[in-house]
Structure 1
Amino acid sequence: MDNSLIDTYRTTDYRVRLAQGGWVSIQVDAALPASLHSLIGERNWAFITAWNPGSQAQPLAQNRAAQQALLIALRKLPRTTCIRPGLGVGDAWREASLFVVGPSLADIDELAQQFQQNAYVHGLGHGYARLRLSSDRPPHAQAG
């Protein structure tokens, strides 16, 4: 994966829909917004999509079907405590996404590979958001 694509992921605005309305933005390498603290506690969280596998544009219907399959898979994970709608916003694109609380990195890594995603954003508790690169071979890497 080239550095320009990684830079694109790092500068994306990762928006989470709040239950009371509105959106809050997660930024890579920044602290988790306070408005998400009570939702997360000390659990793992991730921001992931099934749209545009391999960062290659796909038809809307295909993206929607993949996103629905990801939502179903996330709901089946035993540690999932919350799923909120999300939106990844770049300079010239938007992707529907999901913010999920509870699953382990291993579970999210597996889903990222299954849905052919190059990367996703994750964190633990109120800590910093990190970009995690996906791979078909361990170990997975933190983008630095």
Structure 2
Amino acid sequence: MPERPRSGPGVQALLGPYLDTHYDVRLPGGARATLRCGQRVPDSVIEVIGRTSDAFLITACNPRSKRLSNAENRLLMQRLLQQVNSAGCQCLPGVGHVPGEAWREPLLLLSAIDVDFVDEVARRFDQNAIVSLRPGQPTRLRIYRPCWRRDMADSLRFEWAPEQR
């Protein structure tokens, strides 16, 4: 994705692909589940993450939506995997894609993890947003760019990460 402005009309254009993305996760045993922003977390995913646990879909690829090479993105994902493994969280592989488009981006489904750690990691990898999963609630885009707030209407599909101190 090309780099977009920090706020203004580019923010709305950038949010479209996040909301159109299908987040496919490989579950234990080889089954797959698809998650979408604004939709309920599938029961098959809840069985894996638990009925009371929050979980998150995160990537390290294409920081701030600036397209990197496949090799650069692979290196970032390896670093992300090392960090989440050392934190002891549950981790499942996945991929984000928009049906009908060639773009694919690897991601991880993280569960049994502290939200503050997830926020720290998302910021460390300079992500605009990740996806937040809470059983019984719609899946939401968790946004790390406070300057976007003035350009966006409130929505059940969004939540705002606390600003850095």
Provide TM-score, normalisation by structure 1. Answer: 0.87
The residue type paired with residue 142 of structure 1 is E
1:73 is aligned with what amino acid?
Answer: Q
Question: What one-letter code is carried by the residue in structure 2 that aligns with 1:40?
Answer: I
**1:69 alignment partner in structure 2:** 79
Runs of 4+ in 1 over 3 A off after TM superposition: none
Indicate if the aligned counterparts of 1:37 and 1:126 stay in contact, CA closer than 8 A.
no
Identify unmatched segments of 5+ residues in structure 2. 1-6, 148-157, 161-165
Which of the residues 96, 109, 114 maps onto 2:106?
A: 96
Bigger Cα Rg: 2
Please tell me the residue identity of whatever aligns with 1:111: V
- Among the aligned pairs, what percent are the same residue? 31
Q: Give the paired residue count.
A: 139
The alpha-carbon deviation at position 40 of structure 1 amounts to 1.1
Q: Which moved more, 1:125-134 or 1:65-74?
A: 125-134
Who is 2:132 aligned against? 122
CA distance in 1, matches of 2:135, 2:42: 11
Give the superposed CA RMSD: 2.0
**Contact in 2 for aligned 1:113/1:135 (Cα 8 Å):** no
Query: Which is richer in strand?
Result: 1
Distance of 2:108 and 2:116 partners within structure 1: 17
Q: Is the counterpart of residue 86 in structure 1 residue 94 in structure 2?
A: yes
Q: Distance in 2 between matches of 1:95 and 1:113?
A: 18
Alignment of 1:1-144 (within 5 A): 1=7, 2-41=11-50, 42-78=52-88, 80=89, 82-90=90-98, 91-135=101-145, 142=159
How many angstroms apart in 1 are the aligned matches of 2:13 and 2:145?
18
Taking structure 2 as the reference length, the TM-score comes to 0.77
Which runs of 5 or more structure 1 residues have no equivalent in the other structure? none
